[in-house]
Structure 1
Amino acid sequence: MALNGGAYAPERSKTPFPTRQLAILALCRICEPIAFMSIFPYVYYMVESFGIAHNKAQISMYCGMVTSAFAFAECASGVFWGRLSDRIGRKRVLLGGLLGTGLSMLWFGFAKNLPMALIARALGGLLNGNIGVLQTTVAELVTVEDHQPRAYSIMPFVWCLGTIIGSSLGGLLARPALSFPSVFEGTVFDAYPYLLPNLVCAAVVVFGLAVGILFLEETHEDRKFERDRGCEVGQWILNKLWRRETDYVPLSDKDGSLDEMRVMLGDHDSQAYRSIGSSPTLCSSRASIAEPPDFSLEKDCGASPDVTIRGAFTRQVCLNIIAYGILAFHTISLEQLIPILMSREEPSPDAHPELPFKFTGGFHWTTQQIGTILSIQGILQMIAQVVLFPWLNRKLGSLRTFWLTIALYPFLYLFAPYLALLPKAGRIPGIMALLIWKVTAQSLSYPSLNMMLANSAPSKKVLGTLNGAAASSASVCRGFGPTITGIVDTFGDSHGLSGLAWWTCAGIAAIGWIPGVFMREERRRPGFQGVAVDAEVGIGEPLAGADSDADSVVTLSADEAVLSK
């Protein structure tokens, strides 16, 4: 039996883009970068106030410990939260992560010594399972593959916006008794000089938590039809504020697009209810279709089959997780090395660099100049995220976009340290070119990986676990990256090799080519879990762990979709 591809495409285009739910998810998401980034403007002074460091080098080391505590703790809990979201649903875990973020910020604001600050940051990492679960939620909201580039660019855009807001709040509100003595001197904010920015960030988190409770809807396929009293209250509030109850249209986008298979099958008039466990699930009736396809892999209207944890980690999934870790290692190291380059002393006029490798120096810019440049970086990344990535991804696909990015990353690290040798007139153009290259690479690489991981998952039911594993891989590498490159940079600078840490990152980025070579882009359609569709050649092939004797094979190309029995 065959379905005409031309008939399929128009039906598929009727599936709406989940604008409302992604907007609500973005409001929840923006709380975290605001809270996370708010500490960076004042963490140096906070550690200095603890009185445990004997010199500036030790202050920097302790600052690195405070930063890394969050990443290491998040790594330890990432898989747990992902698996928990597969069992109890995405919304509960997302809201729990927000609550954990708020509690850790309050604790951090009251920290008077290094152990308390480290525990507060570690608590935030342990209680925050949002990174992997967030990607899972996006993957379940977006059922149309053509919508993926647009959808996967939203969350990184929100993160960039949150980092700008968070950095501004932290710099403005820290030590208010010094900045605004007439208002804050002698108050609790004088005794706890870093409490105010954390209180404001906690208030932002409470706002995001309220929005999530009232309006965020469950996306887990076995849980999304369970009663949600929070959403009922949110809908009641909307009824009272904007429209009469008789005119009310549900906030949910999923009501109109429960599954892409419903749209493809084309009948929305006849519907039947069935039960998965204890949760009712709405699925389309096939009785009105002249030649209903017999999906042997999915007898029950597109429900995902149960997959063991071992079976979930297919070859492509494992390659994706490894690529996550390598990418996270050198990109977080880049975030550390750029401010070092801009703040390091200029080369001495008497210095005679022995090119191409032996030279030292930096720009010796002020903190205000560095802050301005980094703010511009955030704006550039937002533009690249919402404009460049969706366009390029549609042209090249996720895999080719990722290949392009990782192929060029090592050259970024190879050439960056030579900016220190530029004359003063060429430094701003040089650093701007570096930042444009950097933000473009980040805007293309991470969303591409997210999409490929979502599409390579053998079942929606293990998607939370897989995203949790990827988040843990990234977190542990983000924990080690700044520490290792910091040690290498200190060693290199003391031996007249300012570029040593940069070139080390170039080597790590080149290692990232290895998993990239073996990765394949897979495409999914709801109801076809266990079958991978190779986007490069358009030939359906069973996934590792799938039933090789399954009698339904999917073959997709740009012009047609054939369901062959």
Structure 2
Amino acid sequence: MRHSPLTRTSGSSVNNGRAPVPAFPRRQMLVLAICRICEPIAFMGIFPYVYFMIEDFHVTEDASRIAFYAGMVTSAFTFAEFSTGLLWGRLSDKIGRKPVLLTGLAGTALSVLVFGFAPNLTVALLARAIGGLLNGNMGVVQTTVTELVTNKEQQPRAYTIMPVVWCLGSIIGPMIGGALARPCISYPSLFSPGTIWDRYPYLLPNLFSAFIVLIGVVNGFLFLEETHSQKKMQRDRGLELGNWILDRIARFRRCAEPRDEKSKLKDREDEMQPLLDHDEQLPTYRTNDNTPANSPRLKSASAPTITQDVLDLTQSMEDVGVGFSKTFTRPVVLNIISFGILAFHTMTFDQLLPVFLATAPPKNRIEPSLPLKFVDGFNLDSKTVGIILSLQGAYQLLVNMFLVPRVLSRFGPLRSFRFIVVAYFLLYLLTPYLVLLPPAYRMIGLAIVLAWKCTFSTIVYPSNAILIADLAPSHLALGTINGVAASTASLCRAFGPTISGILYSVGLKTGYSGLAWWSSALVAIGGAIVGLRIPDPTVRSTPTPPSQDNAHDRDVEVAEQSQASGHAQANPRS
């Protein structure tokens, strides 16, 4: 029977007769959230005006090809991010999470500044590529959250915070991007023609993004703690400076309380333990199929020489290239592939939607032939597109705050993930038919589709993140695993907008404007096939439920093995 945790004055909680449960790291999650929010503001901010930016570059006179070049601009970032994602993940395992996160933010700031001054498509593509090359934060942020929150019961809450932050950024970014782009046209009384704002009409929103990113860099440097189990022991002068500043402000407490070396060593040992603790599972989907007696992790954890075991594991991982075959097990690989497919079609939707909303009806109207042949668009301006994308982000925020934790706690990450990846294809199948609705009902249909899409995406990504954490063999390789996952997702996000842009242009020319959407539906079906093959990390191979008798036998076996190997005898559980 699970006992309710009791809050201790030290900031942790305990279960009666069980090991202490760490308190939820609210302060560090807030610091990490402030760092994280900078990126969606910069990334999503270009979507409302990228269609018009391509028009102003005059790279083509064919309006149907604008979607292709807009896809290239979006893909430049993700292609570059793919090429360095694994590098940043591996580097974070060697030098720590914090320096990699700060480098990524600095790269984002440089990228948006160059993008704002871009006079042509080539410079715009180069600017986006710079941001992708220098930013490997997608996987590193995920790793940091996993290392901050080690208790399984806190995972549903923790893994929804970063999506909430992304939603906030996706509200602010499109709203600012749509409102500040081309200020000489939108606000002629404030921004006169012939000024720098006329020469670089997309500089103003990017200056705003760069300022926000700068705030994130300063915040991370001063207040973000290192979470790497080995690097966290090193001195952090930035954190010391941040604590000094907070000490001068009476109403704030220190960001990180000083700890003696003994407590730091205890924390380090706790962090180094494997991610999967089969006795600690998410509530409401515990299983009786677990057999900890057959788990080598439980046996190793029972021994009092956990530190030596971890050091031996570290050495063996280094000897075989971070234990590639042991780290990237079949469940881990399946989850990474499923994550990549998910990234492909969700990014395709995000890139296609603003183009779809900005597309004007063709001058030479093609006679429709339902159910497949028709061409049309919403013909909205950049301000309206920005407002729609911001409202989408606001809805995602509400879903993340009130729905996602309940869904994950009620159904579990695997069941939630499987249901959504199976049902995703219907969204892409129906979206292009919005233009066939009567004008009075188009916006209502759009609202329904956006609510559908946002609900799915806000549940499926935290579910996948929890699965990655639960399937990973050890914290020591988590940065590498998330780096590979981030690189895979980046590659898929890179191909998604480019391929969808080509298909959308072809569809407009041939009279099948739904071609790109229906292609995404086929990709989503493939993702469903892979997603259904991901095993349940809480189910073990032998379905015999543990009892008190075999629990005693298990403890005796662990004690005997520890004694035989030269270790001290383990204490049996009461």
SS in 2 for 1:220: coil
2:301 maps to which residue?
Answer: 295
Q: 1:297 to 1:438 in 2, by over 3 A?
A: farther
Instruction: State yes or no: 1:424 paired with 2:432.
Output: no
8 A contact 2:299–2:558 mirrored in 1: no
2:165 maps to which residue?
Answer: 158
- RMSD of aligned residue pairs (Cα, Å): 3.5
String of CA shifts for 1:27-51, please: whole Å, max 9, x gaps: 0011111122222333334334434
2:256 maps to which residue?
Answer: 252
User: Which of 38, 50, 56 is the equivalent residue of 1:43?
Assistant: 50
Q: 1:216 to 1:389 in 2, by over 3 A?
A: same
1:390 maps to which residue?
Answer: 405
User: Which of 21, 24, 27 is the equivalent residue of 2:31?
Assistant: 24
Code of the residue aligned with 1:251 in structure 2: it is C
Aligned-partner Cα distance in 2 for 1:298–1:358: 69
Structure 2 counterparts to residues 441-456 of structure 1, below 5 A? 441-456=456-471
How big is the shift at 1:462? Answer: 1.1
Structure 2 counterparts to residues 392-411 of structure 1, below 5 A? 392-411=407-426
Q: 1:539 to 1:100 in 2, by over 3 A?
A: farther
Structure 2 counterparts to residues 122-521 of structure 1, below 5 A? 122-178=129-185, 179-180=187-188, 187-242=195-250, 250-252=254-256, 271=262, 281=268, 295=301, 299-300=305-306, 303=310, 305-306=313-314, 307=317, 308-310=322-324, 311-344=326-359, 353-521=368-536
Q: 1:30 to 1:383 in 2, by over 3 A?
A: same
8 A contact 1:552–1:564 mirrored in 2: no
8 A contact 2:344–2:496 mirrored in 1: yes
8 A contact 1:177–1:184 mirrored in 2: yes
Q: 1:510 to 1:536 in 2, by over 3 A?
A: farther
Aligned-partner Cα distance in 1 for 2:454–2:242: 37
8 A contact 1:295–1:552 mirrored in 2: no
Point out where structure 1 has 5 or more consecutive residues left out of the alignment.
256-268, 285-291, 524-532, 541-550, 554-561
How big is the shift at 1:489? Answer: 2.9
Aligned-partner Cα distance in 2 for 1:321–1:78: 13
8 A contact 2:178–2:385 mirrored in 1: no
Q: 1:534 to 1:341 in 2, by over 3 A?
A: farther
Q: 1:361 to 1:91 in 2, by over 3 A?
A: same
Code of the residue aligned with 1:20 in structure 2: it is R
SS in 2 for 1:196: helix
Scaled by the length of structure 2, the TM-score of the pair is 0.79
Code of the residue aligned with 1:295 in structure 2: it is A
Aligned-partner Cα distance in 2 for 1:102–1:490: 32
Point out where structure 2 has 5 or more consecutive residues left out of the alignment.
5-13, 272-297, 547-556, 560-570
Code of the residue aligned with 1:26 in structure 2: it is A
1:98 maps to which residue?
Answer: 105
How big is the shift at 1:105? Answer: 1.7
8 A contact 1:18–1:254 mirrored in 2: no
SS in 2 for 1:520: coil
How big is the shift at 1:12? Answer: 6.0
How big is the shift at 1:564? Answer: 8.1
How many percent of aligned residue pairs carry the same amino acid? 47
Aligned-partner Cα distance in 2 for 1:140–1:455: 12
Aligned-partner Cα distance in 2 for 1:397–1:89: 31
SS in 2 for 1:53: coil
Q: 1:234 to 1:427 in 2, by over 3 A?
A: same
Aligned-partner Cα distance in 1 for 2:43–2:349: 18
- Bigger drift between 381-390 and 354-363 goes to 354-363
Aligned-partner Cα distance in 2 for 1:254–1:470: 35
8 A contact 1:111–1:117 mirrored in 2: yes
Aligned-partner Cα distance in 2 for 1:342–1:174: 17
Aligned-partner Cα distance in 1 for 2:527–2:544: 26
How big is the shift at 1:58? Answer: 4.1
2:60 maps to which residue?
Answer: 53
Aligned-partner Cα distance in 1 for 2:20–2:263: 24
8 A contact 1:272–1:283 mirrored in 2: no
Q: 1:51 to 1:145 in 2, by over 3 A?
A: same
Q: 1:30 to 1:536 in 2, by over 3 A?
A: farther
Q: 1:538 to 1:225 in 2, by over 3 A?
A: farther
- Bigger drift between 484-493 and 325-334 goes to 484-493
Aligned-partner Cα distance in 1 for 2:263–2:354: 59
1:114 maps to which residue?
Answer: 121
Aligned-partner Cα distance in 2 for 1:342–1:54: 20
SS in 1 for 2:473: coil
Structure with greater helix percent? 2
Code of the residue aligned with 1:447 in structure 2: it is P
String of CA shifts for 1:151-196, please: whole Å, max 9, x gaps: 1111111111112212222233334445356556565444433333
Q: 1:51 to 1:342 in 2, by over 3 A?
A: closer
Code of the residue aligned with 2:489 in structure 1: it is A
